Amino acid sequence: MASLRPSPLPLARETSLYIDAMRVLAALVVFLDHFARPSVSGGLFWQVAPFGGDAVIVFFVISGFVIAHATAQKERNAADYFISRAARIYSVAVPAIVLTIACDFVGQWIDPRYTSWSYSGGALWQQLVTGLTFTNAFWHAGFFPGSDGAYWSLGYEVPYYVIFGAALFARGVWRVVLPAALMLAVGPSIVALLPIWLAGAGLYRLGRIWKAREAVGWILFLGSIVAWGAAQFRLRAAGFDINHVASTAYVPDYVTGICFVINLLGFEAIAPRFVTLLRPVARAIRWAAGRSFTIYLVHIPVLKLCAVMPFWDVTAWSTRVSMLAITALVVVVMGTCFEQRREPWRRYFAALLRRSHPDQTALQPAR
């Protein structure tokens, strides 16, 4: 498919940094959404809590954009695509599940009421099987491992990887049949948000063949922020639940998704204006972005375990600061040990493909 090959306009470094910065910001918003709960911090940062759902939608747009970039630049075949995606997800998901089980075991031992905090339905084996296969959201299943409620979104994002990969790498009529069959298999709730993810991928393709003029870029960039703020006010006034993805007819999700797509489209046109702002902090942004997936996936069980510790009151400032420090320490350690070390997972999945396709003996991990 020639139209899916890299096009003449490169992705500006400033755009890449901006996307990484937004990825970090979205992860922190989700973190503060859960930290702000009365049972965790006594309601500190409650002002951020309504925007946790919007942050997940931002993740979906960024995910589509980044996957489109990866397939245009280096993941040119199905094997490379599978290895890279699987290594990226499992390198964080598996340690997060292990950590969650450990935190839940200790938390239940300290306080039996711990199990009532946002636990999903189903037995533990169902939560683990659907979590590890990312079928946890198929047809409104709504499972997630233990107390890790943030895990639900992987049941959306990973199917998007598979559907997009099928459309990209299948041949002939299978490019239509396979994605259609997959969409039928995953169910309506996942398919309903697929256009938001695809908008991110489409935005990347558009940005490689066309950029708006700078004046238009500023209008799109600033106007999208104003429009999103105004929409949030109107949606609240109309009674929409803006804090939960896939609720109230998906209207808030699409408003946020469209506004963020427009925001990125505008930023691509004005990216050179942000050189002096972004370049000095580039290393810090890249470092934090390299741990954003870990922030997103491990913070809930850590916070919940801290909240049931018997030696502190969750409303005390010493407790709040300690919770933040402990969570930050866990994120840094796990992000460094797992999210930043995907090569063993790449080798494992490459070997798995070689065993399942012995004729492809030259297959090597994607880099």
Angle between helices 174-186 and 154-169 (to 10 degrees): 170
The pLDDT of residue 244 is 59
245 burial (CB, 10 Å; 0-12 / 13-18 / 19+) is buried
Average pLDDT, the chain: 88
The pLDDT of residue 123 is 82
The pLDDT of residue 242 is 60
The pLDDT of residue 313 is 82
The pLDDT of residue 298 is 95
Helix residue ranges, H only, the chain: 13-35, 38-41, 52-73, 78-110, 124-133, 154-169, 174-186, 188-209, 214-237, 251-270, 275-278, 282-289, 292-307, 317-334, 343-356
Residue 265 near residue 63, CB atoms below 8 Å? no
The pLDDT of residue 367 is 41
Q: How far is residue 197's CA from residue 62's CA, in Å, rounded to a whole number?
A: 8
- Cα–chain-centroid distance for residue 58? 8
Kindly list the averaged pLDDT for each block of 10 residues, start to end, along the chain of length 367: 54 94 96 91 89 94 96 89 95 95 89 64 87 93 89 96 95 94 95 96 93 95 96 81 61 94 97 94 96 95 87 83 93 93 92 75 42
Q: How far is residue 142's CA from residue 151's CA, in Å, rounded to a whole number?
A: 10
The pLDDT of residue 156 is 96
* Sequence spans of domains, the chain: 2-356
- Cα–chain-centroid distance for residue 335? 15
Per residue in 276-314, pLDDT (tens digit) is 999 999 999 999 999 999 999 999 999 989 888 877 788
Per residue in 113-138, pLDDT (tens digit) is 666 555 677 788 889 999 999 999 99
Which sign does the torsion angle of CA 160, 166, 167, 169 carry? positive
The pLDDT of residue 75 is 83
